[in-house]
């Protein structure tokens, strides 16, 4: 077995305010595409750098800085970023100009900013961090691959103390709205808090950034232990229970040890059976939680699930707004997170209390 890895800092930017845990009430949206709530980026990024940044870069750099500050880490041993679609706003801008101007008189700024590794590169530039730096872009397991890589890095490089890993995705006017044309988004606007009661196809979407400082050292303000992550591109619905049991066994646990499960339910009735199977069988008597009715579904939305799990493990409080059933748990010790999108890119993560 390798090192124990702890979550010592979190930067979360999403469609919900950070005080959801203390306040208990949620921000309500009535559109199927809604933006993340922006902090004052000027507090984190110099104006000359800020002027070119799209929202993904602003959210990424800012959440990274919040996480590092909380963990009291200045320069991490590695920066590992996950993003499903990267800098969509700049991609869209450059592409629209290219098509409208018939490939003439194009300026380079939006092209430069459109590459998927811009966020990770900008964080490195901002911190002056010359260490390992990679960006994963695998749909709904982009963040998960970043976390998997981080875990491997600790074991391969004993000199690394802390790693910054996270996920970012932004909405853009056109490319995001295209998701209405192929059934990814619900056609009729719904209230976000009603998402999990919907019996229709598609989901709702938003944007956000979640960066985590993972460290080998347990500190006073440590949130939780990041135990493990597993990624599979295709899982047959009937084998999902098996997959989970195998995953837990690899971590020397079984399903009875799980105190709560956070599911990536997104109100899409075409793929809900992956979750329903678990809710009705293996994890029937466990507190079942969901979060996409709060922050929407996007490639790195599972960052919010990791944030929520870490908060619950630290505070032993489960906000009612997350609950799917009435099962309670006094002091949660192990939380399982399961997510998939359109029946592909499945991920399992396990976090434990310290």
Partner 1 sequence: MTNLHTELKESIIEQLNLEDMEPADISNDEPLFGDGLGLDSIDALELIVLLEKDYGIKLTDPAQGKEIFVSINQMAQFIEENRTK
Partner 2 sequence: MNKSVAVTGMGIISAIGNNTAANYNSLISGKHGISTPEVLKTIYKHLPVGEIKISNESIAKKLNLPENHSYTRAALLGALAVKEAIFQANLKLDGDTGFISGTSVGGMDATETYFKDFSEGKTDNNRFIRAQHPGFTTEKIAEYFEVNGFVSTISTACSSGANAIMLGARMIKTGKLKRVIVGGTDCLTKFTLNGFNSLMILSNEQCKPFDENRKGLNLGEGAAYLVLEAEEEINGKPVLGRISGYGNANDAFHQTASSENGEGAFLAMQKALKTAGIPVEKINYINAHGTATKNNDKAESAALERIFSNKLPDFSSTKAFTGHTLAASGALEAVYSLLAIQNEQVFPNLNFSNPMLNPGFIPVTNLKEKPIDYVLSNSFGFGGNCTSLIFSKNGI
Chain contacts with partner 2 (rule: CB under 8 A): 79, 84-86, 88, 91, 94-96, 98-99, 102-104, 106-108, 111-118, 120-122, 124-125, 127-139, 141-142, 145, 149, 152, 155-156, 174-175, 178-179, 181-182, 184, 231-235, 299, 344-345
Task: Return the one option of partner 2, partner 1, none that residue 43 interacts with (CB less than 5 to 8 A, by type).
Answer: none
Q: Hey, is 104 helix, strand or coil?
A: coil
Q: How far is the CB of 288 from partner 2 (least distance, A)?
A: 27
Determine the Cα–Cα distance for residues 351 and 354; give it in Å rounded to an integer: 10
Q: How far is the CB of 348 from partner 2 (least distance, A)?
A: 13
CB atoms within 10 A of CB 139: 16
Site residues for partner 1 per CB under 8 A: 47-48, 51-52, 105-109, 112
Determine the Cα–Cα distance for residues 117 and 313; give it in Å rounded to an integer: 32
Angle 264-228-79 from CA coordinates, rounded to 5°:
90
Determine the Cα–Cα distance for residues 51 and 116; give it in Å rounded to an integer: 19
Q: How far is the CB of 48 from partner 1 (least distance, A)?
A: 5
Backbone angles phi, psi at 248, to 5 degrees: -65, -40
77: left (phi over 0), alpha (psi -120 to 50) or beta: alpha
Angle 254-256-262 from CA coordinates, rounded to 5°:
90
Determine the Cα–Cα distance for residues 223 and 341; give it in Å rounded to an integer: 27
Task: Return the one option of partner 1, partner 2, none that residue 99 interacts with (CB less than 5 to 8 A, by type).
Answer: partner 2
Q: How far is the CB of 107 from partner 1 (least distance, A)?
A: 5
Q: How far is the CB of 73 from partner 2 (least distance, A)?
A: 16
Task: Return the one option of partner 1, partner 2, none that residue 115 interacts with (CB less than 5 to 8 A, by type).
Answer: partner 2
Task: Return the one option of partner 2, partner 1, none that residue 152 interacts with (CB less than 5 to 8 A, by type).
Answer: partner 2
Task: Return the one option of partner 1, partner 2, none that residue 51 interacts with (CB less than 5 to 8 A, by type).
Answer: partner 1
Which residue is associated with the tokens 């602003």? 58
Q: How far is the CB of 51 from partner 1 (least distance, A)?
A: 4
In terms of CB distance, is 149 or 207 closer to partner 2?
149
Backbone angles phi, psi at 178, to 5 degrees: -60, -25
Q: Which two tokens stand for residue 284?
A: 């029937």
Task: Return the one option of partner 1, partner 2, none that residue 64 interacts with (CB less than 5 to 8 A, by type).
Answer: none
């Amino acid at each position: 077995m390798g090192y124990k890895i702890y979550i010592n800092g979190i930067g979360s930017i999403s469609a919900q305010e950070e005080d959801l845990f203390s306040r208990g009430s949620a921000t309500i949206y009535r559109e199927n595409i809604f933006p993340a709530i922006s902090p004052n980026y000027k507090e984190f990024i110099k104006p000359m750098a800020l002027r070119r940044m799209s929202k993904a870069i602003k959210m990424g750099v800012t959440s990274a800085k919040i996480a590092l500050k909380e963990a009291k880490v200045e320069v991490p041993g590695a920066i590992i970023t996950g993003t499903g679609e990267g800098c969509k706003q700049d991609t869209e801008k450059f592409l629209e100009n290219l098509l409208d101007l018939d490939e003439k008189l194009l300026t380079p700024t939006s092209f430069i900013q459109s590459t998927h590794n811009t966020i990770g590169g900008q964080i490195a530039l901002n911190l002056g961090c010359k260490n390992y730096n990679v960006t994963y872009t695998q749909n709904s397991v982009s963040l998960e691959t970043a976390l998997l890589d981080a875990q491997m890095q600790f074991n391969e490089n004993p000199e690394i103390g802390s790693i910054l890993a996270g996920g970012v995705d932004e909405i853009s006017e056109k490319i995001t709205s295209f998701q209405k044309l192929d059934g990814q988004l619900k056609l009729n606007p719904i209230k976000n808090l009603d998402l999990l009661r919907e019996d229709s196809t598609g989901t709702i979407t938003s944007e956000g950034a979640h960066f985590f400082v993972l460290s080998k050292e347990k500190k006073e303000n440590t949130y939780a232990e990041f135990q493990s992550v597993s990624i599979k591109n295709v899982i047959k619905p009937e084998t999902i229970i098996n997959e989970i049991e195998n995953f837990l066994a690899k971590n020397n646990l079984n399903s009875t040890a799980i105190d709560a499960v956070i599911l990536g339910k997104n109100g899409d009735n075409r793929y809900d059976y992956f979750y329903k199977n678990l809710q009705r069988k293996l994890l029937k008597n466990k507190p079942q939680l969901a979060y996409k009715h709060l922050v929407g579904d996007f490639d790195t939305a599972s960052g919010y699930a990791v944030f929520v799990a870490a908060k619950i493990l630290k505070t032993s409080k489960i906000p009612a707004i997350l609950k799917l059933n009435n099962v309670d748990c006094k002091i949660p010790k192990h939380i399982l997170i399961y997510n998939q999108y359109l029946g592909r890119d499945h991920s399992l993560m396990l976090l434990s209390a310290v």
